[in-house]
Amino acid sequence: MPELNLVQAVNQALHQAMEEDRRVLVLGEDVGLNGGVFRATEGLQQKFGAERVVDTPLAEIGIIGSSIGLAINGFRPVCEIQFDGFLPSGMDQILCHMGRMRNRTRGRHTVPMVLRCPHGGLIHAPEHHSESPEAYVCHTPGIKVVCPSTPADAKGLLIAAVRDPDPVVFFEPKLLYRAAKGEVPQEPYETPIGKARQARVGSDVTLISWGAMAHTCLKAADMLDKEGVSAEVLDLRTLTPLDLDAILASVQKTGRALIAHEAPNMGSWAAEVSALISERALLSLKAPVRRVGSWDIRMPLFRLEKHYIPDAERVLRAAREILAF
Amino acid sequence: MPELNLVQAVNQALHQAMEEDRRVLVLGEDVGLNGGVFRATEGLQQKFGAERVVDTPLAEIGIIGSSIGLAINGFRPVCEIQFDGFLPSGMDQILCHMGRMRNRTRGRHTVPMVLRCPHGGLIHAPEHHSESPEAYVCHTPGIKVVCPSTPADAKGLLIAAVRDPDPVVFFEPKLLYRAAKGEVPQEPYETPIGKARQARVGSDVTLISWGAMAHTCLKAADMLDKEGVSAEVLDLRTLTPLDLDAILASVQKTGRALIAHEAPNMGSWAAEVSALISERALLSLKAPVRRVGSWDIRMPLFRLEKHYIPDAERVLRAAREILAF
Amino acid sequence: MPITSADRSRTERIEILSPEGVRDFSIPVDLPADQLLSLYRKMVEIRLFDERSVKLQRQGRLGTYPMILGQEASQIVPASCLKPKDWLVPTYRGQGAYYARGMRLRYSLLYWAGDDRGVKFPDENNDLIFAIPVGSHLTQAAGLAWGEKLKGQGGVAMAYLGDGTSSKGDFHEALTFCAAMKLPAVYIVENNHWAISVPREKQSAGKTLAQKAWGYGAFGVQVDGNDVFAIYKAVSEAVTRAREGHGPSVVECETYRLSHHTTADDAGRYRGSAEVEAWRGKDPIARLKIYLERENLWDADKEARLQKDAAAALEMEIQAYEAFPPPNPLDMFSENYAAAPWHLIEERAELQKILETKTGEENLPVLPPAEGRFP
Amino acid sequence: MPITSADRSRTERIEILSPEGVRDFSIPVDLPADQLLSLYRKMVEIRLFDERSVKLQRQGRLGTYPMILGQEASQIVPASCLKPKDWLVPTYRGQGAYYARGMRLRYSLLYWAGDDRGVKFPDENNDLIFAIPVGSHLTQAAGLAWGEKLKGQGGVAMAYLGDGTSSKGDFHEALTFCAAMKLPAVYIVENNHWAISVPREKQSAGKTLAQKAWGYGAFGVQVDGNDVFAIYKAVSEAVTRAREGHGPSVVECETYRLSHHTTADDAGRYRGSAEVEAWRGKDPIARLKIYLERENLWDADKEARLQKDAAAALEMEIQAYEAFPPPNPLDMFSENYAAAPWHLIEERAELQKILETKTGEENLPVLPPAEGRFP
Ligand SMILES: Cc1ncc(C[n+]2csc(CCOP(=O)(O)OP(=O)(O)O)c2C)c(N)n1
Ligand SMILES: Cc1ncc(C[n+]2csc(CCOP(=O)(O)OP(=O)(O)O)c2C)c(N)n1
Ligand SMILES: [Mg+2]
Ligand SMILES: [Mg+2]
C-alpha cells in the first residue's frame, strides 16, 4: 500500500469523492488554484473545474450558509473554513441551522454537507490559528463531529462524511497534516463514523483522546510501559455520536481513565466523556477520571504553546497520579 | 422591603448602575423608548437620555463588537442581546475577542462590559427564543458567566457585573422575569460573583442547577421530602468561575449529586460540573452523579417544550434512581 | 484627469398606482386582468386571515403572531412572480408569501400555535422554512440560487427580508456571494419602516435600502411597496434578469407595518398615531379596489361574494387547524439524523417511559398572556 | 414623475503623483516638505525592515511574517494623519501603520516570533492590537469611535482592512453603525488586489470597494494607493470630516501586494509575473523619490545616508529583539482576569511544578519550515 501523510489522504479522499458523485462541490477560501493553504484541495480545480471547486469571497457566514443552501438544493458541498479560529465567524449557521433543518422541516429538507476545518496547535502558527473549537460544535444537536489522527482514518472518515446524509464537521489536526504518515488503501473506502479506534491494547489505564493528542497518548503509553504500566489508548475519531460502548468496555477493563485533548479544559468535550464514564461506570473505577487539557486561558502566541497544550509528559504525570490513587 | 419580580429587579439594578457611574451605557435592540421587549430597560432612556441608552441597528456583531470598543475606550457598556437564540450571530466577538483582550494586550486594554441576554424556555415563545447557550460561553476563557434565579440575586449580581473589571455574560431566565417574585433591598448592593447559593438545606442528595431550573429543583425537593428524602438544593448563580468549594462541600455531605439544566445534555455545562464532582469527590459518592438536561435534539416548537425541558417530575425520577443505586 | 469618476449610480423609485387608485399608464406593466384579480383576491383573503389570527391569539387559541396588515401587496406580489420550482424563502412575517404559493392556512395557524407539523408546504413547491434569527436565511438563499445556476434550468431563488434585517452582516455576505458569482437571486426588502420599535432611519443613514445593492455590483431598485403594479414590474423584471443569468437584484418595497410588531408587542409605546393614520391612507388593497372598480373589473357584488367566500374558506381552515390531534411528543425524536444515534434512542425511550406515567393533558396548550413576553 | 431618482452617487478616484513621479499641482495638497520627507523616510525604513524580516524568517529567526512590500504608502500615510490620542486599529499586515505611530520595530519582530511581549505600543498612543480573524476589529473600531464621540473632544478612530476583508459581514455592521450614528471613524481599505490567492474581482462585482460606503450613507472615495499625495489628501480630509462630526468615511487605497501573502505562501502558484512586474513600475517609494529629487528636496547623498542610518537603526532593533530573555511560561496566567479565579491559580501552580522538573530549553524556538503551513 502507498504511504501518505494526513493531508495527502484528505486530498485523495476529496478527489475520489468528487469522482464518484457529481453532486460533490468543494468551496472555500483559496481552495482552488492555490489548492488550500495546507494543499488539502491540491489539484481538485484543475481536475474538476472551477464550477465544482470554487474560491469564494472571504466570508464565513457566506461559505457555510451557501453550503447549507446548496445541500438543501441537492448538492453535496464540502466547504473549508481555513482555520479553527475562523469558525466562530460562521458559528451562527452551525449553531442555528446546519443541524436543525432536517428536524424543522420534518425531514423534507436535509443538509448533507461536510465542513472541513484544520484543528489544533503546535505548528508555530499565528494567533487564532491553533484553536480546538470542537466543544462548541459537539454541544449542538443534529451535527456529527469527526477528528481523525491517522491518514487511513482521515481518508475513510472523510469519504464516509461526504456520503453521510447529515452534516458533518470534519476537524483535521494540522500538526499531523505532514507529521502523520501511514499506509492508505488506494481505492475509496469508508471508515465508520461513530466508532472509536483501539490504538493500543492495555490493561492498567485507558488513555482517551482524538486528533493530534492521540499520538501524544501513544507516546505517553510508551513511557508508562517503561514504568511497567500497561496503557490502553483509545482514539475516538468521532466525537459525536460518541462511541460510548468502546469507552466503557475499555474503562471496565482497566478501571482507570484519562482524557487528553487540546482545548481549554473547562466545558470541553473531555468533560462530557469524563462525566459519562463516571456516571455509567462508577463501580468499575479504581481511581477518579482525569482530564488533561490546555489551560483555561487564551492560547498564548506560539513561543509558549508547548507549555499550553499538553505534551506526553503532562499526560504521563496525570496517569501516574491516578495509578497511584 | 419592597417585593419585585426578576425583570423589575434587573431594571432597578440598571437604573442604579447608571446613576452611580456615568460611564455606564445601555445599548441594544429596542432598549430605548420601548424599554426592551421584556421591559428590562424600561424608563432608562427617559431618565438618562438617548446618548446613554441607545437603540442600535439590528446587528449583533455590531452590538457586541462596539461594546468591546466602548469598554476599551473607558466606558462601561451594558449591551442586550434580545434573545438567547440570537447570541450565535454575535458569537465571533464573544469567542475570539471579549475575554481575550486583557491577556493579548498584557493588561493594557480591558473589556469591562456586561452582555445581558434572556435565557431558557417554557414561555411558549417562537423558535430560537428559548435556548440555553451558556455552555458555549462558559468554555471560553476570560469571561464570567452569571445566571441568577431570584430577584434579589439578579439585582445584586447585575450590579456586581457592571462594576466588574472584566466581561460578564449575564443570562436572565425569561420564565422568571415575571414568575419569580421576592423582596429586594432598595439601595444598590453586590451579590458576589463566583458564589453559589444554598437554596435548601438537605442531607441525602444535592440538586445542583441555575436559572429557572433552580425552582424546578426546589419543587422536586419538596416532592422528595414527601418521600422522606432530604434534598439539598444548590443554586450556582455563577457558572464561571464555578463555586466548586460549595459544590464539593455539599456532595461530600450528601454523597449524591444531580445536576439539572435546560440545555441539550451532551457537552453542556452540567457535564463540566458532573465531571468535576466525580473527579474530585469520587470517594464521597454513594451513587453516580446524574445529569438531567433537555434532550439532545433541537428544541421543538413551544407546544412540546414542556416535554423537552426537564420538569420537577423528571428531576424526581432521576433523584429516585441515584437514591436507589 | 486627476479626479475622475470611478463609478456612478442612481437608484430609481417606481410608483405606478397612486394611493388614490390612479394608474400611470405611461409605464407598461404586463399584468392581465385575471392575474390582477387573483392578486387582489389573495390580498383580501390574507388580510382576513391576519385579522382573524389576531383574534385567535387574543382568545388564547393561537401563540404569538406577526401581523402583516398593510403589507399585503409586498407579501403577495413578489412570491407570485415565481414558478413553483423556484425557491422561496420568506421571513416569519411571511404568511402572505407562503399563501401566494398555495400553502394552506391551517398550517400557518398550526405553526404559530407552536406545532412543528405546521411546517408543511405544497409538495410541488420549493418553499423553505423561514429563519427566526433574522437574516440568517439570506446566505442560504444564495446557496439555493447557486444550486439553480449549477443546474442551469433557469431556476431562481427569492428571499424576503425586513428593513432592520438589512443591517445584518448576513445581508452583506449573501449579496457579495450572489453578485460576485452572478447567482439567480432576488432579495425583497420589505421596508415597513419599523424593526419592532426601531425606526428605519436608525437602521441606515442611506437614503434608500435599495442603494446598498450598488456596492456589490448588484441591481437595486425601490418601489412603492403598496403598489401592486410597481412591485410586479420591478420583481418580475428582477426574476427575468436572474433567470437569464444577469445576476441578483434587491427590490426595496417601501410599505408600512400598520399593526404591532407581533401580538406580543404594543406599538403605542414607541410611535404616534399620526404616522400610522397617514399610512392607512396609502392602503394597498383599497387603492387597487378603486382601480379595479374604475376599470369595471370589480364591483360591490363581487366584493361581497369574495368577502363571504373568503370568510367561509377561512372558517374551514380554522376548524381543520383546531381539529388536528395533539402532537405526539415522541415525534420530536424523529428526523434529527437519517439514522438515530444511540443517545437519541436512549433519550426517546426515557421520554416514552415518562409519557406512560402521564395522563392525557394534551389539548391545545394554555397560552400565556402576550404582554411584553417576546417580540 | 413615475420613475424618479431616489438617490444618486458617484465614487471619485484621486491620482496626484503619477508612477513617473509627476505631481498634478492642480489639486492642492497641504503637505509641507518636512512632513513629506519624514513620510518618505518612514516608507524607506519600513521597506528595509520588511526585506530584513523575510530574511530573518528564512533563517529560522522569525515566525511567519506578512510582507508589506509595495504597500508602504498605504501603510504609512493614513496612520500619519492621526494624533497619538486618536485610535489606530491596523491589520496583521500593519507593521507600517504601527511604525508610523512610533512603535519600536523590536516589538514587531518579537510579536512575529510568537512572543506576546511584542504587543507593546508607545504609552502615549491609543493603538489597538490587530485582530487575526479578519474584519473582527471593524465593529470594535466603531465602538472606539463611538466612545470618542461621547467624549466630544474631536477624537477619531481609524481602522485598516484589506480588499478581501471588505466581503465580511463585520464590515457591513461596522459601517452601518458608524453612519447611522455619525461616528468619527475612518476605514482604510488597502486594496492590494489579493486575498491570499483570491483576486480582487472574486471578492466583489462592484467596480470599486469604496462605493460600498454609499449604501450606508457614508462617504467613500478611491485613491491611487501608491500615491502619497492622493492618500494624504483623501485621508486627512476624511479625518477632518470625522473630527468635525460629519461621520465616517471609507478610503480605498488601490495598491498591490508585490510579495507573497506571507512567508508561508507561494504566490507563484496562483498569479503570473506579468501583473507583478506591471505593478513594480508603480512603486510608491520610487515615484516619490523622483519627485523629491526633481523638487531638490532629495539627492543621492541624502539617500545614501538614509539607507545607512536606517540599516544601522534596524540592526540595533534586531539585536534588541534577539536579546530579549526567554519569556516566562507562567506569564500566560497573568492578565486573564483582574483577579485570578481558583481554577487558574490551580493550573498555574501545576505548570509551575512541571517547569521545575524541566531544564532550561528556553532559547528562541526552532521554527518550522513555513511551506504551506499556514497563511
Ligand atoms: C438575529 C436576530 N436578532 C434579533 C431578533 C429579534 N427580532 C425579531 S423581529 C426583529 C425586528 C426585525 O425588523 P425587520 O427586519 O424590519 O422586519 P419586520 O419585523 O419589520 O418585518 C427583531 C429585532 C431576531 N429575530 N434575530
Ligand atoms: C475570518 C477570517 N477568515 C479567514 C482568514 C484567513 N486569512 C488570513 S489573511 C486572508 C486574506 C485577507 O485578504 P485581505 O483582506 O485582502 O488582506 P491582505 O492579506 O491582502 O492584506 C485570509 C483569508 C482570517 N484570518 N480570518
Ligand atoms: Mg421592518
Ligand atoms: Mg488584499
Any idea what DSSP says for residue A98?
A: I
Q: What is the pLDDT of residue C255?
A: 98
Domain around C43: 5-322
- D125 in contact with chain B, both atoms CB, cutoff 8 A: no
Indicate whether C141 and C273 sit together in one domain.
Answer: yes
Indicate whether C337 and C292 sit together in one domain.
Answer: no
Q: Are A59 and A27 in contact, with CB atoms under 8 Å apart?
A: no
Q: What is the ipTM of this complex?
A: 0.98
Q: Are D330 and D352 in contact, with CB atoms under 8 Å apart?
A: yes
All three cell numbers of A279, joined, read 456516571
Interface of B with A in 34-63 (CB under 8 A): none
Q: Are C39 and C80 in contact, with CB atoms under 8 Å apart?
A: yes
Please name which of A161, A270, A252, A276 lies closest in space to residue A211, comparing C-alpha atoms.
Answer: A270
In the annotation, is C261 catalytic?
A: yes
Domain A3-183 shares a fold with domain A197-323: yes
All three cell numbers of B249, joined, read 462541600
Q: Are A263 and A269 in contact, with CB atoms under 8 Å apart?
A: yes
Q: Could you say which residues of chain A have pLDDT below 50?
A: none
Cα(D286) to ligand 4 centroid in Å equals 22
Q: What is the pLDDT of residue C1?
A: 55
Report the alpha-carbon distance of residue B265 to residue B318 in Å, rounded: 14
Best probe of the B interface among C189, C262, C331, C373, by most B CBs < 10 A, is: C373
Best probe of the B interface among A131, A277, A279, A321, by most B CBs < 10 A, is: A279
Confidence of residue C360 (pLDDT cuts 50, 70, 90): low
Arithmetic mean of pLDDT, D318-335: 97
Cα(C134) to ligand 1 centroid in Å equals 5
Report whether pLDDT(C357) > 60: yes
Any idea what DSSP says for residue C373?
A: T
Arithmetic mean of pLDDT, D102-110: 98
Indicate whether D298 and D370 sit together in one domain.
Answer: no
Confidence of residue D1 (pLDDT cuts 50, 70, 90): low
Please name which of B308, B298, A108 lies closest in space to residue C329, comparing C-alpha atoms.
Answer: B308
State pLDDT tens for residues C171-218: 999 999 999 999 999 999 999 999 999 999 999 999 999 999 999 999
Task: Tell me whether strands A231-235 and A197-200 are parallel, antiparallel or unpaired.
Answer: antiparallel
Q: What is the pLDDT of residue D3?
A: 86
Task: Quote the percentage of chain D above a pLDDT of 70.
Answer: 95
State pLDDT tens for residues D274-309: 999 999 999 999 999 999 999 999 999 999 999 999
Report whether pLDDT(C370) > 60: no
Concatenating the DSSP letter of every residue in A116-147 gives EEEE---S---TTSS--THHHHHTSTT-EEE-
CB contact under 8 Å between A271 and B266, yes or no, is no
Which residue among D52, D101, D193, D261 is the active-site one?
Answer: D261
Arithmetic mean of pLDDT, B290-319: 98
State pLDDT tens for residues B233-290: 999 999 999 999 999 999 999 999 999 999 999 999 999 999 999 999 999 999 999 9
Whose cell is 376548524? That residue is: C319
Confidence of residue D216 (pLDDT cuts 50, 70, 90): very high
All three cell numbers of C366, joined, read 394554555
Please state, in angstroms and as integers, the Cα–Cα distance from residue C21 to each residue in C72, C228, D103, following that order: 16, 11, 67
Report whether pLDDT(B145) > 80: yes
Closest residue on chain B to D169 (Cα): B61
Report whether pLDDT(D117) > 60: yes
Closest residue on chain B to C340 (Cα): B297
Indicate whether D146 and D259 sit together in one domain.
Answer: yes
CA distance D171 to chain C (A): 8
All three cell numbers of B320, joined, read 429516585
Pseudo-torsion of CA A275, A276, A277, A283, nearest 10°?
Answer: 100
Domain spanning B197-323, CATH class: alpha beta
Of A97, A165, A241, the CB nearest to C338: A165
| Consecutive H or E run containing D106 | helix D105-112
Q: Nearest C-alpha to atom 20 of ligand 2 is from which residue?
A: D195
Indicate whether C372 and C312 sit together in one domain.
Answer: no
- D280 in contact with chain C, both atoms CB, cutoff 8 A: no
A to C CB pairs, distance under 8 Å: 130
Confidence of residue D358 (pLDDT cuts 50, 70, 90): confident
Domain count, chain C: 2
Confidence of residue C371 (pLDDT cuts 50, 70, 90): very low
Q: What is the pLDDT of residue C359?
A: 65
More confident residue, C365 or B107: B107
Closest residue on chain D to B194 (Cα): D341
* Cis? peptide before C32, omega within 30° of 0: no
Arithmetic mean of pLDDT, C315-330: 97
Report whether pLDDT(B47) > 50: yes
Q: Report which bound ligand comes closest to the CA of D375.
A: 2
Chain B residues within 8 A of D174 when measuring between CB atoms: 62, 65
Arithmetic mean of pLDDT, D196-210: 98
Report whether pLDDT(D360) > 60: no
Report the alpha-carbon distance of residue B105 to residue B117 in Å, rounded: 27
CB contact under 8 Å between B88 and C133, yes or no, is yes
Cα(D205) to ligand 1 centroid in Å equals 28
Q: Nearest C-alpha to atom 1 of ligand 2 is from which residue?
A: D133
Please name which of A289, A302, A310, A295 lies closest in space to residue A264, comparing C-alpha atoms.
Answer: A295
CATH no. of B3-183: 3.40.50.970
Report the alpha-carbon distance of residue A80 to residue A82 in Å, rounded: 6
Question: How many CB atoms are closer than 10 A to CB D61?
Answer: 16
Ligand 3 is an ion; its neighbours by CB within 5 Å are C 162-163, 192, 195
State pLDDT tens for residues C81-128: 999 999 999 999 999 999 999 999 999 999 999 999 999 999 999 999
CB contact under 8 Å between C140 and A74, yes or no, is no
CB contact under 8 Å between D9 and C171, yes or no, is no
Q: Are B258 and B233 in contact, with CB atoms under 8 Å apart?
A: no
CA distance B81 to chain A (A): 14
Which residue among B97, B109, B119, B129 is the active-site one?
Answer: B129
- Residue A166, C-beta contacts closer than 8 angstroms, at least 6 positions apart: A99, A102, A110, A111, A112, A142, A143, A144, C337, C338
Q: What is the pLDDT of residue A41?
A: 98
Q: Are C79 and C122 in contact, with CB atoms under 8 Å apart?
A: no
Region of A306 on the Ramachandran plot (φ > 0 left; ψ -120 to 50 alpha; else beta): alpha
Arithmetic mean of pLDDT, D66-95: 98
In the annotation, is B124 catalytic?
A: no
Confidence of residue D2 (pLDDT cuts 50, 70, 90): confident
Q: For position D287, which CATH number holds?
A: 3.40.50.970
Any idea what DSSP says for residue B289?
A: -
Q: Are B14 and B48 in contact, with CB atoms under 8 Å apart?
A: no
Confidence of residue B1 (pLDDT cuts 50, 70, 90): confident
State pLDDT tens for residues B58-78: 999 999 999 999 999 999 999
| Consecutive H or E run containing A76 | strand A76-80
Please state, in angstroms and as integers, the Cα–Cα distance from residue C174 to each residue in B87, B272, D30, following that order: 20, 38, 41
Indicate whether C343 and C314 sit together in one domain.
Answer: no
Could you tell me if the CB of C97 is within 6 A of ligand 1?
A: no
Closest residue on chain D to B55 (Cα): D181
Report the alpha-carbon distance of residue B2 to residue B7 in Å, rounded: 14
| Consecutive H or E run containing B145 | strand B144-146
CB contact under 8 Å between C173 and A73, yes or no, is no
| Rg, C-alpha atoms of chain A | 19
Q: Are D66 and A125 in contact, with CB atoms under 8 Å apart?
A: no
Indicate whether C123 and C42 sit together in one domain.
Answer: yes
Whose cell is 401592486? That residue is: C228
Q: What is the pLDDT of residue C363?
A: 41
- Domain limits, chain B: 3-183, 197-323
* Count of residues making up chain C: 375
Whose cell is 501573502? That residue is: D261
Q: What is the pLDDT of residue C364?
A: 38
